[in-house]
């Protein structure tokens, strides 16, 4: 790997992929949205060659120009929202944009590492761990991000069946330093640090440090197998434990009161309506609450054994993320 394209380079995960590549001496071409700030990428490059282009991944002609001279494409660009008044853009970018990038990569014979998500995989039955092959079944939830990532992951696998070298990374919920937007995961971390969660329900989610997720992408390019999925998730954390870990890192007294699911659903719906009425994104969208009210835990054995990944303690991820949010004036 000598010259890589990173779509979504200015984003939370994309910027860390850029940094991991630069540290390996790889020339990087970053692709961001029109007008998207990218000044924070320059220090990451540490004097190495970093070329930036901007445009819409839904533009097939631009995708063909973007892959010129590229041997490896990291397709991390996506619309990641837990709630949207109209999910059309999310489906369009996450699916049609993926199709354009994969088509362009196929024309030049570039290897592709595609960023999916654990929410593109199936949820496990109670008491067991899901893995890369657990069939998707979350059709009962109106969760556009999950559905769009599932369909675009299957699209990537269709290209793999046509002969394109595609490796698929399925990160857990990504947290850590550098979440400028912030993403829904970072927004949840801030809300918990501010003590906005009065309690918890049963269930939990798989999490990963953004730095480990970035290394997982690079390792997939270096050591992964074409057409293969990799769950890149470091820790399965239940909801009560998440509240306690974040509270300790924030220097707050943890409040962890078990809530009946109907009460949690009602409270989340009221808070979501109030946030939308004020023109804000909800701290915890109702669909994210619903998704996390069962144990969505995943086995990362394949990533550990085939990619050689190791994961830092989740407490460090939370502490580093909160420190970054404070220094950025977001907490």
SS (H, E, C) the chain: CCEEEEECCCCHHHHHHHHHHHHCCCEEEEEECCCCCCCCHHHHHCCCCEEEEECCCCCHHHHHHHCCCCCEEEECCCCCCCCCCCCHHHHHHHHHHHHHHHHHHHHHCCEEEEECCHHHCCCCCCCCCECCCCCCCHHHCCCHHHHHHHHHHHHHHHHHHCCCCEEEEEECEEECCCCCCCCHHHHHHHHHHCCCCCCECCCEEEEEEHHHHHHHHHHHHHHCCCCCEEEECCEEEEHHHHHHHHHHHHCCCCCCCECCHHHHHHHHHHHHHHHHHCCCCCCCCHHHHHHCCCEECECCHHHHHHHCCCCCCHHHHHHHHHHHHHHCCCC
Residue 302 has pLDDT above 90, yes or no: yes
Query: Given pLDDT bands bounded at 50, 70 and 90, which one contains residue 306?
Result: very high
Residue 299 has pLDDT above 90, yes or no: yes
Residue 155 inside a domain? The answer is yes
Residue 110 inside a domain? The answer is yes
Query: Given pLDDT bands bounded at 50, 70 and 90, which one contains residue 50?
Result: confident
At 290 the pLDDT is 87
Share of the chain above pLDDT 70, in %: 98
Residue 278 inside a domain? The answer is no
Task: List the CATH number of the domain containing 42.
Answer: 3.40.50.720
Residue 187 inside a domain? The answer is no
**Mean pLDDT calculated for residue range 41-53:** 78
Residue 72: φ, ψ to 5°: -140, 130
- Domain around 113: 3-174+207-234+297-312
Q: Contact at 8 Å (CB) between 206 and 298?
A: yes
**Mean pLDDT calculated for residue range 161-180:** 97
At 46 the pLDDT is 65
User: Which of 122-136, 270-284, 288-302, 304-318 has the least mean pLDDT?
Assistant: 270-284
Residue 271 inside a domain? The answer is no
Residue 227 inside a domain? The answer is yes
Query: Given pLDDT bands bounded at 50, 70 and 90, which one contains residue 200?
Result: confident
CA–CA distance, 110 with 104 (Å, rounded to integer): 9
At 13 the pLDDT is 97
Could you tell me which of 82, 8, 23, 2 has the C-alpha nearest to residue 211?
23
Q: Is 267 exposed, middle or buried (0-12, 13-18, 19+ CB in 10 A)?
A: middle
Exposure on the CB side of residue 151, measured as CA atoms within 13 A? 16
Query: Given pLDDT bands bounded at 50, 70 and 90, which one contains residue 256?
Result: confident
> How far lies 207's CA from each of 80, 275, 291, 307, in Å?
16, 25, 14, 18
Q: Which residues contact 41 (CB under 8 A, 6 or more apart)?
A: 9, 10, 15, 18, 30, 50, 52
Mean pLDDT of the chain: 93
∠ Cα 223 128 197 (to 5°): 95
Q: Which residue has the tokens 């996450």?
A: 94
Q: Is 82 exposed, middle or buried (0-12, 13-18, 19+ CB in 10 A)?
A: buried
Q: Which structure tokens are listed for 20? A: 């991991």
Residue 31 has pLDDT above 90, yes or no: yes
User: Which of 117-126, 202-211, 276-285, 290-299 has the least mean pLDDT?
Assistant: 276-285
Could you tell me which of 106, 270, 283, 78 has the C-alpha nearest to residue 169?
78
At 4 the pLDDT is 98
Residue 80 has pLDDT above 70, yes or no: yes
| Verdict on whether the full-model pTM lies above 0.85 | yes
**Mean pLDDT calculated for residue range 116-135:** 95
CA–CA distance, 243 with 293 (Å, rounded to integer): 14
- Pairing relationship of beta strands 204-209 and 235-238 according to DSSP bridges: antiparallel
Query: Given pLDDT bands bounded at 50, 70 and 90, which one contains residue 245?
Result: very high
Residue 329 inside a domain? The answer is no
**Mean pLDDT calculated for residue range 269-293:** 87
Task: Look at 42 and 63; give whichever has higher pLDDT.
Answer: 63
Q: Which structure tokens are listed for 81? A: 């929202």
Task: Tell me the pLDDT tens digit for each residue of 201-240.
Answer: 889 999 999 999 999 999 999 999 999 999 999 999 999 9
Residue 48 has pLDDT above 70, yes or no: no
Residue 113 inside a domain? The answer is yes
Q: Work out how many domains the chain is built from and give that number.
A: 1
Q: Contact at 8 Å (CB) between 57 and 7?
A: yes
At 264 the pLDDT is 86
């Amino acid at each position: 790997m000598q010259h890589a394209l990173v779509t979504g380079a200015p984003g939370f995960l994309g910027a860390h992929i850029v940094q991991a590549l630069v540290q390996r001496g790889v020339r990087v071409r970053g692709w961001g949205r029109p007008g998207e700030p990218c000044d924070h990428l320059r220090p990451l490059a540490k004097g190495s060659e970093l070329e930036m282009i901007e445009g819409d991944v839904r533009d097939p002609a631009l995708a063909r120009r973007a892959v010129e001279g590229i041997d490896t494409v990291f397709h991390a660009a996506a619309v990641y929202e837990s709630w949207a008044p109209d999910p059309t853009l999310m489906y369009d970018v996450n699916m049609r944009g993926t199709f354009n990038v994969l088509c362009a990569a196929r024309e030049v014979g570039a290897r592709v590492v595609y960023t999916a998500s654990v929410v593109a995989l199936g949820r496990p039955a109670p008491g067991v761990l899901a893995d890369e092959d657990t069939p998707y079944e979350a059709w009962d939830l109106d969760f556009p991000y999950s559905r769009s990532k599932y369909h675009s992951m299957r699209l990537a696998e269709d290209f793999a069946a046509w002969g394109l070298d595609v490796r698929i990374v399925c990160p857990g919920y990504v947290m850590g330093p550098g979440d400028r937007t912030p993403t829904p995961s970072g927004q949840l971390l801030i809300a918990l640090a501010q003590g906005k969660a009065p309690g918890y329900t049963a269930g939990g989610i798989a999490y990963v440090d953004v730095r480990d997720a970035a290394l997982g992408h690079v390792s997939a390019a270096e050591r992964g197998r074409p057409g293969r999925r990799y769950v890149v998730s470091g820790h399965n954390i239940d909801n009560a434990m998440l509240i306690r870990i974040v509270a300790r890192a924030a220097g707050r007294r943890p409040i962890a009161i078990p809530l009946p699911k109907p009460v949690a659903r009602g409270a989340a719906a009221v808070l979501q309506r109030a946030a939308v009425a004020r023109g804000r994104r909800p701290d915890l969208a109702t669909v994210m609450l619903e998704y996390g009210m069962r144990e969505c835990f995943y086995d990362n054995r394949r990533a550990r054994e085939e990619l050689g990944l190791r994961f830092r303690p989740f407490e460090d991820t939370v502490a580093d993320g909160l420190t970054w949010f404070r220094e950025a004036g977001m907490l």
